[in-house]
Chain A
């Protein structure tokens, strides 16, 4: 599918494609009400409430005023609808602002200022510096004589550095005046959301006749919402407009995530619903039987002898309505409210502020905080997540000479500086490649200082390092680079850039020396992408050794190489390259193939090593969360050696003998299968031992495993608490998340880059680190944090508290509605099973909405354990993970409690208000007061920590109950007129209430005390320890004890066989020396202590692949 765009043709493409009106709105004024209501009613709970509310309109069966349901229902709907409407209105405003922005567009050959929304496909749009691009454009001209311009694409991919865009070759050199009149056709794909690709062709019409079809790439486009920078003006033809732009297409509303707690609440709601139906059926039958036997004798009821056909249904439906409050209408509102407060607490948390950048943590998704407390697997990215992604050039190896050691960086290595000043050609060539072979843009400020804008952190580090070694990349003037070497200005013209792709793993530039006219190919890339292509005769052993040595230190390595090209060779290749670049299908693959032809016979110059430091507190974070029972998987696109090295240094895996690494590898299906089975076998054997066993898998083997051996791999995933997956693609990351989710594990994915977005969206909880790779991940994530170490607090503090609080709140909501419901049911037995409501409508509504909702809302401040205790004993998270606080059995406890309390309230009320006092309104109010008192004490008993707000909510609510009822009792027209005044004057009322409270709470307190003291849970023990003060001091001693215990255990596992191939593949050995050994296929690893941190590393057999 293609679209053809006629440039600057006012008549043609006008109506063919949509205009540039952006609309992010979900609703219009007309469809808002129906659409919003439809959405709200697609939820079961709402359908249920609506059904109940409708049934209540039938006055024959309604026990209470329909307002008691309609009121809250309309309120809830109004709140959600208002929120939606407000959000939509804000979107409308921002759309409007964007749509009405004025831009210069060529209309009928004249530049005119029109509103952005009136741009059509094919129009020529003019932009000035710092303008926002209104739609997707293909560049036609810029102020730059060479047709370059710079854009900031932060709005699209979150990358803050500037990107170069260039006009298509066909437009090169067109006069400024003629740009208005340019005509032509562009053939481009139908709108899609791929922001990295734009495979199109352009052909200009006379007088700009250019027989060539000119290829267009993403480099020739300006995408919507980018900003034009450092360029005076630019103009382009619009190709995609409005919601069909690349940005518009990639906009999407993420699917709402449902937490485990929500799922459990839904399940319990379902159970209660079933219970309700049973009650309704039983009472309905009983009611009909009573009606036909007893009620016919009760002449004063005047039952007609013959009723309508639906008569049998009337009583069951009445009971259905009477019991409808079993499913509390308030639970949804309360939960939404507290959940947004949990999210706010995360936003507000001062201990989760990244002090370096001042970034706060942010909860984008406010609905899933409880899930944080139930995380079982954390899948983490490596670069930028565990590490800082701040590259520093540390060491290098040039022609066999190693520069830089433990004490000094290469930058300050005297030897290297000497070599530079003496003019060693190799070293200078090395520096040149560092400075030239990149896509960095130097920006010279007015003071003369140069800053670099780079796509990749590695390139920036190299250019900086070169600059400090006197090879300063000064200026990029179009295609000409200027380099200042010791005061000498060197100029190079860039002829071609062979871009980096993750498949090629290298990038090259072809430059022409302006002085000598010679053409060079300069390359840099991963060792496996460069070293095999060395010119015949060159020894690459030293380089591969250097690579290994640097990898041991956890450094990232890049091999640098160059080659001089013949003029003819280049010419020939250049044609092929151009051709490959204008292909529409499979362009990437074709280009790679052409590049490969040039990138060989390298003269290897050396190896540069770049350090990517671990973030602060990563090892501690990982070990704390480990203790909390969370399993870690590392998914990285990096190579195996670096991944394992980083894993070791951040406690991810333990060195031998405590830990064991199992490797899954292989090139073919069979090899992978065998290896997988071997690992699985080992895993099963060692599963009982107190050992950290981890498996390592690379992208290829993973691909095969997931495709063909999914079952075995799933079993492995369940067995293994730790895994390292290297060389994985973004989609594989997402697949792994999917795999763990399919095993019913709660997963949390954390990452910082664009390649983590899919994994983050896939996981139950996505956490983005607002780091240096841009904000893409943070935007897609549910939570964004500044540093990896905040994860501890996010999970242990916020997640845990949220879970505990929601568990209490939801069960309590059911408890209180069941309580009132049971009383209604009991009452029906003494009212002829006729479905009379004991409570009046006002009380019922207020009971659910005020009296019982407000105290429990204060539970969002409840803390069962102090943050410090939780941090010291992360194991306590187990209670949340296993869902110990909200499950059918805890719920049964609450169910029983409400049944018990209902019996207490009912029995005491009808016995103390018997005979001459059995007046309906009074009895109803006594029972209601009893419920209110009981629920206040229940909340008080279940609260672990009382702040002033909780006291206010619980006891203030009790006072408010009396105030409200006294006020209502003062209004003559209500049924309750004078009732409350009358009751408050009776000693009998107060004695009854006290009796209800004590009789209801006594057994609950006794039971709780007994369990608390003699069947105490770990939480209780820690609470006691924390609050009694005494033993808490000894808690600090646990850690060393634990360690010593572990030490005692460790000799046991030493006896495991070292090299029992093929089942055993101990990748880590405890050999203290740093020398390399190669004993068969089982590769030994070494670790040694560096002066700063335990820097365990491993050696890999050379050429083992």
Chain B
């Protein structure tokens, strides 16, 4: 018997394996991230929270709407649509023919200032139905060429206005520059000329970095087909601000571009005579042309949209808050009531 005792225990190690004290050697360090147990805030949409959020939004939005509406209303704006009126009566049947002819395009317009306008008064021209954002148009420019005189041959993106007929590069090349707006305006008040400041109407960053100080127009509007305005080839591009403004293409087919600034106040009732040269062809595509004189507010020009939108959204939020409050009061519902769980009502089925 005794001889067997060691061997009895000898059989044991295998089975002892399972009952051996638990080994935690492979247990790694506990981390909240690896266990997906980072402390978390778990918001839920309680009626109180949602209703007060909507109320808060309406309380904030309605005043903002009122303020921006006032700001917009404070702006004094004179708009004069002239594209039809500036066509002599005899040519009205063939506007395109008139505009493409060499006849005198001068035209006089009279504007009355409705309200006191504080300086600076911005003078814009507004074009309608003009697709500066058309894909063919918007791509047809060469920023390299505009920036640096050594890149003047870089006209590959400018087609079809890249080179002259004999292959000389056009500076500035491309459809945008080629179609530069060329109506001109002169303002007189009581037969006194009103000075129009055409400097600093473009972005400073464009003058400094996009349009080179040493880049001069070359071969511009020399092709058979004349697009828009010509450029003074003795002035560098960074000084040709009307071009710089024009080349900031607009994203919308209706847009205004700054023509100049009037730096005197205009009084209510002042009559302003505008002598304009109606050169630009918008007739072939039935585009409108407008002259706009406008003051500015902290939100920019006259634009009621933002104020109205704020009022509408604020109002809707208020309305929703009210509706939710009423529903909450009329038909209260216990949140998280386990009796809504279908398997608690109907065991076995799902």
Q: Is B168 among interface residues, defined by CB-CB distance under 8 A?
A: no
Q: Is A1076 among interface residues, defined by CB-CB distance under 8 A?
A: no
Q: Give chain B nearest CB distance to A551 CB in angstroms.
A: 23
> Could you tell me which residues of chain B, from 1 to 29, have a CB within 8 Å of some CB in chain A?
1, 3-4, 6-15, 18, 22-28
Q: Give chain B nearest CB distance to A86 CB in angstroms.
A: 24
Please choose the segment from A676-684, A711-719, A1029-1037 that sits at the chain B interface, where 4 or more of its residues have CB less than 8 A away.
A1029-1037
B24 touches A358 (CB 8 A): yes
Point out the residue from A358, A464, A863, A978 that lies within 8 Å of B27, measured CB to CB: A358
Which residues of A sit under 8 angstroms from B9, Cβ to Cβ? 449
- Scoring A residues 944 to 958 as 1 if CB is less than 8 Å from chain B, else 0, what string do you get? 111111100000000
A1023 touches B336 (CB 8 A): yes
- Scoring B residues 132 to 167 as 1 if CB is less than 8 Å from chain A, else 0, what string do you get? 111111100001000000000000000011000000
Complex Cα–Cα for A832 and B133 (A): 8
> Could you tell me which residues of chain A, from 1063 to 1079, have a CB within 8 Å of some CB in chain B?
none
> Could you tell me which residues of chain B, from 291 to 350, have a CB within 8 Å of some CB in chain A?
298-301, 303, 305-306, 309-310, 313, 316-317, 320, 324, 327, 331, 333-338, 340-344, 347-350
> Could you tell me which residues of chain A, from 884 to 934, have a CB within 8 Å of some CB in chain B?
908, 910-920, 922-924
Q: Is A995 among interface residues, defined by CB-CB distance under 8 A?
A: yes
Q: Would A915 and B285 be within 8 Å (CB), given that A449-B9, A450-B10, A470-B1 are in contact?
A: no
Q: Would A467 and B136 be within 8 Å (CB), given that A299-B281, A977-B209, A1002-B54 are in contact?
A: no
Q: Is B179 among interface residues, defined by CB-CB distance under 8 A?
A: yes
Which residues of A sit under 8 angstroms from B137, Cβ to Cβ? 300-301
> Could you tell me which residues of chain A, from 427 to 467, have a CB within 8 Å of some CB in chain B?
448-452, 460, 463-464, 467
Q: Is A1 among interface residues, defined by CB-CB distance under 8 A?
A: no
Q: Would A916 and B255 be within 8 Å (CB), given that A358-B25, A1042-B347 are in contact?
A: yes
Which chain A residue has the least Cβ–Cβ distance from B23? A358
Q: Would A474 and B285 be within 8 Å (CB), given that A300-B175, A300-B227, A1046-B347 are in contact?
A: no
Which chain A residue has the least Cβ–Cβ distance from B27? A353
Which residues of A sit under 8 angstroms from B33, Cβ to Cβ? 949
Q: Give chain A nearest CB distance to B254 CB in angstroms.
A: 7
Point out the residue from A827, A915, A1021 that lies within 8 Å of B336, measured CB to CB: A1021
A998 touches B61 (CB 8 A): yes
Q: Is A349 among interface residues, defined by CB-CB distance under 8 A?
A: yes
Which residues of B sit under 8 angstroms from A304, Cβ to Cβ? 160
> Could you tell me which residues of chain A, from 699 to 726, have a CB within 8 Å of some CB in chain B?
none
Q: Is A178 among interface residues, defined by CB-CB distance under 8 A?
A: no
Q: Is A517 among interface residues, defined by CB-CB distance under 8 A?
A: no
Q: Give chain A nearest CB distance to B343 CB in angstroms.
A: 5
Q: Would A350 and B30 be within 8 Å (CB), given that A345-B36, A484-B4 are in contact?
A: yes
> Could you tell me which residues of chain B, from 176 to 210, have a CB within 8 Å of some CB in chain A?
178-179, 203, 205, 209-210
- Scoring B residues 233 to 267 as 1 if CB is less than 8 Å from chain A, else 0, what string do you get? 00000000000000011111111111000000000
Q: Give chain B nearest CB distance to A877 CB in angstroms.
A: 10
Which residues of B sit under 8 angstroms from A690, Cβ to Cβ? 347-349
Complex Cα–Cα for A1009 and B335 (A): 12
Which residues of A sit under 8 angstroms from B340, Cβ to Cβ? 1016, 1018, 1021
A972 touches B209 (CB 8 A): yes
Q: Give chain B nearest CB distance to A64 CB in angstroms.
A: 11
B336 touches A484 (CB 8 A): no
Q: Is A575 among interface residues, defined by CB-CB distance under 8 A?
A: no
A1018 touches B341 (CB 8 A): yes
Q: Is B89 among interface residues, defined by CB-CB distance under 8 A?
A: no
> Could you tell me which residues of chain A, from 995 to 1044, have a CB within 8 Å of some CB in chain B?
995, 998-999, 1002, 1005-1006, 1008-1009, 1012-1014, 1016, 1018, 1021-1028, 1030-1032, 1034-1035, 1038, 1041-1042
Q: Is B224 among interface residues, defined by CB-CB distance under 8 A?
A: no
Q: Would A995 and B333 be within 8 Å (CB), given that A448-B10, A1035-B338 are in contact?
A: no
For B227, B248, B281, B300, the residue with the greatest tally of chain A CB atoms inside 10 Å of its CB is B300
For B12, B40, B137, B179, the residue with the greatest tally of chain A CB atoms inside 10 Å of its CB is B40
Which residues of B sit under 8 angstroms from A357, Cβ to Cβ? 23
For B34, B143, B298, B341, the residue with the greatest tally of chain A CB atoms inside 10 Å of its CB is B341
Q: Give chain A nearest CB distance to B215 CB in angstroms.
A: 15
Q: Is B278 among interface residues, defined by CB-CB distance under 8 A?
A: no
B50 touches A1009 (CB 8 A): yes
Complex Cα–Cα for A1028 and B333 (A): 14
Q: Is B53 among interface residues, defined by CB-CB distance under 8 A?
A: yes
Which residues of A sit under 8 angstroms from B136, Cβ to Cβ? 301-303, 834
Complex Cα–Cα for A987 and B303 (A): 14
Which residues of B sit under 8 angstroms from A912, Cβ to Cβ? 303, 305-306, 309
Q: Is B221 among interface residues, defined by CB-CB distance under 8 A?
A: no
Point out the residue from B40, B122, B344 that lies within 8 Å of A863, measured CB to CB: B40
Q: Is B35 among interface residues, defined by CB-CB distance under 8 A?
A: yes
A991 touches B13 (CB 8 A): no
Query: From DSSP, what is the main secondary structure of chain A's interface residues?
Result: helix
Which chain A residue has the least Cβ–Cβ distance from B4? A470
Q: Is B102 among interface residues, defined by CB-CB distance under 8 A?
A: no
Range of interface residues on B (Cβ < 8 Å): 35 or more
Q: Is A392 among interface residues, defined by CB-CB distance under 8 A?
A: yes
Which chain A residue has the least Cβ–Cβ distance from B100? A299
A451 touches B13 (CB 8 A): yes
Complex Cα–Cα for A392 and B18 (A): 12
Which residues of B sit under 8 angstroms from A915, Cβ to Cβ? 124, 126, 254-256, 301, 303
> Could you tell me which residues of chain A, from 283 to 339, have a CB within 8 Å of some CB in chain B?
294-295, 297-304, 318
For A344, A998, A1018, A1035, the residue with the greatest tally of chain B CB atoms inside 10 Å of its CB is A998
B249 touches A914 (CB 8 A): no
Q: Is A878 among interface residues, defined by CB-CB distance under 8 A?
A: yes
Q: Is A835 among interface residues, defined by CB-CB distance under 8 A?
A: yes
B203 touches A452 (CB 8 A): no
Q: Is B47 among interface residues, defined by CB-CB distance under 8 A?
A: yes
B7 touches A467 (CB 8 A): yes
A1034 touches B338 (CB 8 A): yes
B22 touches A998 (CB 8 A): no
A920 touches B25 (CB 8 A): no
Q: Is A356 among interface residues, defined by CB-CB distance under 8 A?
A: yes
Which residues of A sit under 8 angstroms from B303, Cβ to Cβ? 911-912, 914-915
For B130, B137, B161, B317, the residue with the greatest tally of chain A CB atoms inside 10 Å of its CB is B137
Which residues of A sit under 8 angstroms from B313, Cβ to Cβ? 995, 998-999, 1002
A297 touches B10 (CB 8 A): no
Q: Is B101 among interface residues, defined by CB-CB distance under 8 A?
A: no
Which chain A residue has the least Cβ–Cβ distance from B22? A355
> Could you tell me which residues of chain B, from 280 to 296, have a CB within 8 Å of some CB in chain A?
281, 284-286
Q: Would A450 and B11 be within 8 Å (CB), given that A298-B134, A301-B134, A918-B250 are in contact?
A: yes
> Could you tell me which residues of chain A, from 68 to 84, have a CB within 8 Å of some CB in chain B?
none
A987 touches B299 (CB 8 A): yes
Point out the residue from B26, B124, B205, B350 that lies within 8 Å of A916, measured CB to CB: B124
Which residues of A sit under 8 angstroms from B175, Cβ to Cβ? 300-302
Complex Cα–Cα for A304 and B30 (A): 71
B344 touches A1041 (CB 8 A): yes
Which residues of A sit under 8 angstroms from B22, Cβ to Cβ? 355-356
Which chain A residue has the least Cβ–Cβ distance from B320? A1006
A861 touches B248 (CB 8 A): no
Q: Is A830 among interface residues, defined by CB-CB distance under 8 A?
A: yes
Q: Give chain B nearest CB distance to A610 CB in angstroms.
A: 13
B350 touches A629 (CB 8 A): yes
Point out the residue from A452, A830, A946, A1016 that lies within 8 Å of B252, measured CB to CB: A830
Q: Is B42 among interface residues, defined by CB-CB distance under 8 A?
A: yes
A302 touches B160 (CB 8 A): yes
* 11 pairs from A and B in contact (CB 8 Å cutoff): A302-B160, A348-B35, A349-B34, A358-B26, A448-B6, A467-B7, A472-B10, A484-B7, A486-B4, A912-B306, A1028-B336
Task: Apart from A448-B6, A452-B11, A467-B8, list 14 A-B contacts with CB within 8 A.
Answer: A298-B134, A350-B27, A350-B34, A832-B134, A916-B301, A917-B301, A918-B250, A946-B43, A987-B298, A1014-B331, A1018-B340, A1031-B337, A1034-B338, A1035-B338
Please list the 9 inter-chain residue pairs (A to B) with the smallest Cβ-Cβ separation, ordered nearest first: A1024-B336, A1025-B336, A358-B26, A348-B34, A300-B179, A945-B40, A923-B251, A947-B38, A834-B135
